[in-house]
Structure 1
Amino acid sequence: MSYKIVFFDIDGTLVNDEKVIPADTVQAIQQLKATGVEPVIATGRAPYFIQPLMKQLGIASYVSLNGAYAVYKGEVVFQQAMDRTSIEKLVEIAERHEHPLVFEGTKQFATNQENHPAMVAAVSSLKVTLPAYNPQFWQQHNIMQIFLHCTSSDEHLYAALHDDLTFIRWHEQAMDVLPLGLSKAVGIEAMLNKLGLTNADAVAFGDGLNDKEMLRAVGLGIAMGNSHADLLPHADFVTTHVDEQGIRNGLIKAALLPA
């Protein structure tokens, strides 16, 4: 199979625990580009979190916000905002239990609890700036995704929302909240359609719980050696750790780079 496009998650895939891209990964991406195969970012992060990384790697296209916002070389090919009624229900429960929220739009983000320790810990782990304080942000902008800050012991408090929303944990104190049925696979499908490609033409790399649908949706789904254990059954192949040439070894497995 001659693959034509490769989708890369960021955290734990392109970058390690220190949020640094290993030198060999940078080299492997440049070698991939030289073959004419297109690299694309596919991340839960918002567009304003990923620009330095895209510039460093010379990547022009991305699926962001867990599939809610996809851009191909500057052109928006897909976007899906959250339903305001669903957001209102989430806000009501979160405020009742004093769980801070971070509302993410396509250009900026804001929180409803300034400097809350759980929010600061989770967002700071991404090595990005903290959100502005604006509790009404969700009423003023289209919201693509929300960070809900609570521990796993409190997840049951949001069970009534599971018919409308998906909750994906990425930090011991934080979960992504997105519309039911939305995933990176949805944004990837839109981009493939834009390019006249099929799922079989694509490879995807990931390591987290938000990568399950993506790995199943492409011709070759590759999990990193440092992946969450629950992701592994959804992968076609498990490569090495992000710091142990995981990207290069995966691209070799896909016959996109020489061994």
Structure 2
Amino acid sequence: MSTPAPGEPGWQPRLVALDIDGTLLRWITGAGTTHEEVPDAVRAAVRRAARAGAHVVLASGRSPHSMTGVADLLGLAELADDRLWIVASNGAVVTRYPPLEVVREETFDAGPAVQRILQLHPEALVAVEERGVGYRVNRAFPTGELSGDLIPTPVEHMVAAPVSRVIIRDPAATVDDFVRLGAELGLHGTDYVVGWTAWLDLSAPGVSKASGLDHVADALGLTAADALAIGDGRNDVEMLRWAGRGVAMGQAVDVVHEAADAVTDGVDDDGAARELERWFGTGSTADAADATGG
């Protein structure tokens, strides 16, 4: 008998790749941040997948140190046979946890791209991660958008050596402004992704959540065909295309929906849980304990 194709009856994901903000965590109305609390239905569904033997991998644009807390909220480490895999910084950094250990990092020379962007957006905010501490920034970012300590640093010092990612933020600009900016600049030798706001992530060419997840799948002896991926942002497009089954959250923009095999409910309606229930079922004594953090 042939193996069921991804998404068909009889198929079950062996790797579950989950975005965090807007997928597991709900957005705070009017803010560019999310509640650091996983809804009960989502927590139970994620844990059900882990209990069924799936490798649950968090894949986010967040830095590694701001992702471990979400893994702890889900209680994933206690359900895993080995340390968790985490794909951070939009795929530029792959880690194991706990304890947090960087096992793969893709760096690049960001100086030329940053200089070109600042010529067009001279008031833009720039940040580079200072791992385990926070970020080096040229000026303060809006409250809540970056985690950890914010260390004032001249831009030229931030990008003097290769880095894994650079964040560009302009509160006076719009998402459409940054979409046009990326297209107009071309940014040769650099990949980029635009966020929900006027937020641009710069990374090495070919780096995305998909490239990070491909490394994890290979280490686990799996392939993209074994993977279910759920996400809501432009930085999830490559991941959704890579996975055997890629699912967009209901509130995602059109370009994300178009990259996906299916669309689930929005984050406020626990869309990630609805999708996971298709493959891992629902309702058990363990789920009741999970819903209360037990």
Q: Take 1:12 and 1:218, find their aligned partners in 2: how far apart are those partners?
A: 19
> After the TM superposition, which segments of 4 or more aligned residues of structure 1 sit over 6 Å from their partners?
none
Give the partner amino acid of 1:216. R
Q: Take 1:218 and 1:95, find their aligned partners in 2: how far apart are those partners?
A: 35
Please name the residue that 2:167 is paired with.
147
Change beyond 3 A, Cα 1:219–1:171: closer
- 1:133 pairs with 130, 141, 152, which one? 152
Quick check: 2:179–2:194 contact (8 Å CA) kept in 1? no
- What is the number of residues matched between the two proteins? 247
Q: Take 1:40 and 1:8, find their aligned partners in 2: how far apart are those partners?
A: 6
Change beyond 3 A, Cα 1:26–1:99: same
Please name the residue that 2:104 is paired with.
78
- 2:43 pairs with 26, 42, 47, which one? 26
Quick check: 1:77–1:191 contact (8 Å CA) kept in 2? no
3-state SS, counterpart of residue 41 of structure 1:
strand
Q: Take 2:49 and 2:72, find their aligned partners in 1: how far apart are those partners?
A: 16
Please name the residue that 2:90 is paired with.
66
Give the drift of 1:23: 1.7
3-state SS, counterpart of residue 124 of structure 2:
coil
Quick check: 1:105–1:145 contact (8 Å CA) kept in 2? no
The answer to whether residue 250 in structure 2 is matched with residue 230 in structure 1 is: no
Give the partner amino acid of 1:69. V
Q: Take 1:37 and 1:217, find their aligned partners in 2: how far apart are those partners?
A: 17
Where structure 2 has 5 or more consecutive residues not aligned to the other structure, the ranges are: 1-10, 29-33, 77-83, 284-294
* TM-score under structure 1 length normalisation: 0.86
- 2:216 pairs with 188, 191, 196, which one? 191
Q: Take 2:225 and 2:181, find their aligned partners in 1: how far apart are those partners?
A: 40
Quick check: 1:94–1:101 contact (8 Å CA) kept in 2? no
Quick check: 1:72–1:191 contact (8 Å CA) kept in 2? no
Q: Take 2:16 and 2:214, find their aligned partners in 1: how far apart are those partners?
A: 13
CA RMSD of aligned residues (A): 2.2
Please name the residue that 1:88 is paired with.
111
Q: Take 1:28 and 1:156, find their aligned partners in 2: how far apart are those partners?
A: 38
Q: Take 2:85 and 2:282, find their aligned partners in 1: how far apart are those partners?
A: 25
Please name the residue that 1:120 is paired with.
142
